[in-house]
Amino acid sequence: MRDGRPMTGEAWRDGRDPLPMLRHLLGRPVSGRKLRLFGCALLRPRLPELSHHRACEAVEAAEGFADGRVDLAALRSAHASARHVARWTGAPLLWLTPRVQLQWSLRAAARDVAQPALVRTIRPAVVALIQAARRADEITRPLADNLWAAERSRRAAQAAAESAQAALLREVFGNPFRPAVVDPDWLSLNGGAVRELAAVIYDERAFERLPILADALEDAGCADPVLLGHCRGPGPHVRGCWVVDLLLGKE
C-alpha cells in the first residue's frame, strides 16, 4: 500500500503497514482524541526506554489531555519540555550509538504526541517509532558477523513494529469501512450493566474484563459478531478501544 493506492476495507482489515492506514484516516474527519490515544498507546510500553522524565511526562500529559484531565496550558508546557529533551533529533545522528539513537527516536515521538496540533505530527511520531524498532534490534545484535543477516533482522523488527502499529490503529479506530452501531437497549437493560462495565474497563485499564463485557452485551441482546469478537479477541487492547468508546459515547 506504499504506492498511494486508495485504501479499501480489505486492505484496512488485513493491512500490516500503518502509514497508508493513517493517511486514510487523516484524509477524512478524524477524532483528535483517538489519534492522541493511539500515539500514547504506541509509546506507553516504551516509557522506560525514553530515559528522561520530561519525555515520560509528555506522554502522560498527552493522554490526560485526550481524556479531559489536563488542560491546554499544561499540555503546551509538557510539549515544550519534551521538545527541549528531543532538541537534537533533527540533527545527523550517525556518530551516536544505537542506544542513544533509540532514545532520541522515542523522545521525538513523545514530543510529537504531546503537540497541541497533533494532526501535523502524528505521522512523524509513527515514523520515529518504526525507526526505533530497527535501532532496538541493532542494540541486541551489536557484533553481527554477517551484515546481510543483521540487516534482515532489522527489517524483520521494523516489519513487526509496523504490523503491531496497524493492529493498534484497528483497536482504536475500528473499521471505518464497517462502522458499528449500538442499540440503546443494550445500554439500559440490566440496570445499565453494559455501560457501567465499559466505564470500569476504561477508567481502570481493565481490558482483561472485555470478555465479560461481551457476555453482558449478549445478555442485553447484542449479536454483532464483529463487536463481540473484538471483545473476546487477543487484542491488543488499549485506552481508546473502539468498542468501549462506542458504548461510552466517546469520539
Reduce the secondary structure of the chain to three states and give it as a string: CCCCCCCCHHHHHHCCCHHHHHHHHHCCCCCHHHHHHHHHHHHHHHHHHHCCHHHHHHHHHHHHHHCCCCCHHHHHHHHHHHHHHCCCCCCCCCCCCHHHHHHHHHHHHHHHHCCCCHHHCHHHHHHHHHHHHHHHHHHHCCCCCCHHHHHHHHHHHHHHHHHHHHHHHHHHHCCCCCCCCCCHHHHHHHHHHHHHHHHHHHHHCCHHHHHHHHHHHHHCCCCCHHHHHHHHCCCCCCCCCHHHHHHHCCC
Q: What is the mean pLDDT of residues 220-229?
A: 92
Which residue, among 249, 251, 247, 250, has the nearest Cα to 193 in the 3D structure?
247
Residue 124 — very low, low, confident or very high, per pLDDT cuts 50/70/90? confident
What is the value of pTM for the model shown?
0.85
Confidence (pLDDT) at 66: 92
Contact status, residue 185 vs residue 245, Cβ threshold 8 Å: no
Q: What is the mean pLDDT of residues 105-134?
A: 82
Confidence (pLDDT) at 1: 42
- Would the pLDDT of 120 be above 90? no
Residue 89 — very low, low, confident or very high, per pLDDT cuts 50/70/90? very low
Between 64 and 163, where is the model more confident? 64
The dihedrals phi and psi of 56, each to the nearest 5 degrees, come to -65, -40
Sequence-separated (6 or more) residues with CB below 8 Å from residue 157: 133, 134, 136, 137
Contact status, residue 105 vs residue 129, Cβ threshold 8 Å: yes
Contact status, residue 12 vs residue 18, Cβ threshold 8 Å: no
The dihedrals phi and psi of 78, each to the nearest 5 degrees, come to -65, -40
Confidence (pLDDT) at 32: 87
Rg (CA), the chain: 19
Q: What is the mean pLDDT of residues 20-31?
A: 84
